[in-house]
Structure 1
Amino acid sequence: MAVSVAARSTRIAGIAKILRERKPLALGAALLLIIVVLCVFAPLFAPYDPNKLSIANRLIAPGADHFFGTDEFGRDVFTRAIYAGRTSLMIGAAATIFASVIGIALGLVAGFFRRTDVVIARVIDAMMAFPDILLAIALVAALGPSAATVIVALGIVYTPRLARIVRASTFVIRELPYVEAARALGVPTWRILYRHVLRNLLSVIMVQATFIFAYAMLAEASLTFLGVGVSPDIPTWGTMISAGRQYVGQADWMTVFPGLAIILSVMSLQLVGDGLRDLLDPRLRKDL
């Protein structure tokens, strides 16, 4: 027990040292933590019901009673922003998981098995030839607008990014001596892929996943703003900006605060991704 407590204390001290020495990573992690806590525990922080209409209080400017003002139906913008963040974060996280699972599988198969590489590589190249937002719009239009189809569409759009990176890294790892030794000893292929290939790609996957998370949140807001994403009945930062564009110049806070939420979320994810890349990549890491 004493050993485990000491090991835990050493680990915590090491994490604290890393955060002190890497200010951007610490800033990004702190911002992301605050946003996630506010959104996940929205009922604890929300001063009002997010869907309660109050026409008498419509388009009230930010003040003591309404931190971010009210919208065209008298709903509190701060309350709706943190509830909307739940949906935006959920869609971004789900799209990232979808893209990661499919991208890792395709990348491993293409990088480890030479016969499948030609077909999978051509499919990846063809998908990456289309601009992300145009491909997402086409997929959502084909599947129908809803939160689930947005997740699937964004997952498909960002799958090639991760698949290409995993494929290139697998090319290198499969030729290393310990992989050849495992093959010579008759270790099953699935075990080699899991223990010797995938485990050595975790740092690359973690870094890329943070970037995909940020891209997915931006893409969801863009799709919703264009009217082909999540239903307007579901509050997201994109739907709030889309609703507020009619009142630009009259009630700017309706678009400013959801826009700031997107900017801060994406910036924090980018800072965390850059920090993890510098920390986990031996070529960029200056100290341990």
Structure 2
Amino acid sequence: MANAPAHAGGPGLVKLLAQRQSVVIGLAILFVLGAAAILAPVVAPADPNKLAIASRLTPPGWAHLFGTDEYGRDIFSRVIFAGRVSLTVGLCVAAFSTVAGVFFGLMGGFFRRLDAPVSRVVDAMMAFPDILLAIALVAALGGSVLNVIIALSVVYTPRVARVARASTLVIRELTYVEAARALGVSTWRILANHVLRNIVSPLIVQATFTFAYAMLAEAGLSFLGVGVDPSTPTWGTMINEGRKYVSSAGWMILFPGIAITLCVLALQIVGDGLRDALDPNLSKEL
């Protein structure tokens, strides 16, 4: 039987990514932000929720690197702790939407009789703007980290399903899949060993973009006041709180905005690098 095409992974991929300076920088930014979020209780110089009215709206300085907010809370500490929530939401949404999207994409792409209903549902869900659908779902479920993750996972699952379905439609017609069928290999084994393994590359790339989209959506929901509980620091809620003081204390918006920008930009750069490295035609040009 003909062997399946090589799938993602291995030293070759690492070498290709290492040759792109922008990808290395993106991974370094993600590592620093992730490490700071994980080690927040150690890295943060102060309690993110400790009130100090006497120090309210203090500009950035040695005592408070990023300044303080209207309640005297240290913004540097809040940005670090906020990264925990924002990164957790992005990671969980990327994982859950990928798993669900792969399932529906495989079912629709491999089984012809399921293709039409799955495609119609996916198209119907994608007809709604992402943020509006997310707002509706969070409003129905209630504001919490878990409900935001659920809502955004529902929003981004159709995107992954479309990628998985399109890739499955191509793999399904290849010679080695036909040979496996002729040899009597079970359908589920074909799906796992011959189809899923060979659509991993585009799914990994899509997952990185979903991670970035989910973080932006979470920030947007928190900014609108329909996301995470306002008492929980997130980059979106910090920007929402700081917009009232944008003219007198611009640092309240500046630093969480920089954190969101750096994280999303790094994810996009890494996603582009993965796409170029995993695409056989593009990887030859690297």
Q: TM-score range by the shorter chain?
A: over 0.9
* Structure 1 residue 15 displacement after superposition: 6.8
Q: Which runs of 4+ in 1 moved over 4 A?
A: 11-17
Which moved further from structure 2: 116-125 or 43-52?
43-52
Offset at residue 18 of structure 1 (A): 3.4
Residue in structure 2 matched with residue 62 of structure 1 by the alignment? 60
Q: 2:101 aligns with which of 77, 100, 103?
A: 103
- TM-score normalised according to structure 2 size: 0.94
**Out of 211, 214, 217, which is 2:215 matched to?**
217
What is residue 72 of structure 1 aligned with on the other side? 70
Q: 149, 159, 162: which one pairs with 1:161?
A: 159
Q: Give 1:87's aligned amino acid.
A: V
Amino acid aligned to 1:31: I
Given candidates 158, 168, 172, the residue that maps to 1:174 is 172
Partner of 1:252: 250
| Inter-partner Cα distance in structure 2 for 1:82 and 1:151 | 20
Q: Cα 1:20–1:195, aligned 2, differ >3 Å: closer, same or farther? A: closer
1:130-181, Cα deviation, whole Å (9 max, x unpaired): 1110111111111111111111110011111110011011001011111111
Identity %: 62
Q: What is the distance in 1 between the residues matched to 2:87 and 2:15?
A: 29
- Code of the residue aligned with 1:232 in structure 2: it is P
8 Å CA contact retained: 2:94, 2:211 = yes
My pick for the range that moved more, 48-57 or 263-272, is 48-57
Aligned equivalents of 1:64 and 1:13: distance in 2?
Answer: 44
CA distance in 2, matches of 1:12, 1:155: 29
Q: Quick one: which amino acid aligns to residue 236 of structure 2? A: G
Q: Quote the Cα distance in structure 2 between the aligned partners of 1:204 and 1:58.
A: 48
2:16 corresponds to: 18
5 Å-filtered alignment, 1:107-126, equals: 107-126=105-124
What is the TM-score normalised by the length of structure 1?
Answer: 0.93
How large is the Cα RMSD of the aligned pairs? 1.6
Counterpart code for 1:142: A
User: CA separation of 1:179/1:20 partners in 2, compared to 1, >3 Å: closer, same or farther?
Assistant: closer
Matched, 1:230 2:220: no
Asked if 1 retains the 8 angstrom alpha-carbon contact of 2:86 and 2:215, the reply is yes
Are 1:32 and 2:47 counterparts?
Answer: no
Question: Is the 2:17–2:274 contact (alpha carbons within 8 Å) kept by the matching residues of 1?
Answer: no
User: What is the total number of aligned residue pairs between the two structures?
Assistant: 278
The one-letter amino acid of 1:139's match is L
What is the CA distance between 1:20 and its match in structure 2?
A: 4.6
CA distance in structure 2 between the partners assigned to 1:228 and 1:259 by the alignment = 19
Report the Cα offset of residue 19 of structure 1.
4.6
SS at match of 2:283: coil
Distance 2:12 2:114 in 1: 43
Q: Deviations over 1:241-271 (max 9, x none)?
A: 1111111111111111001100000000000
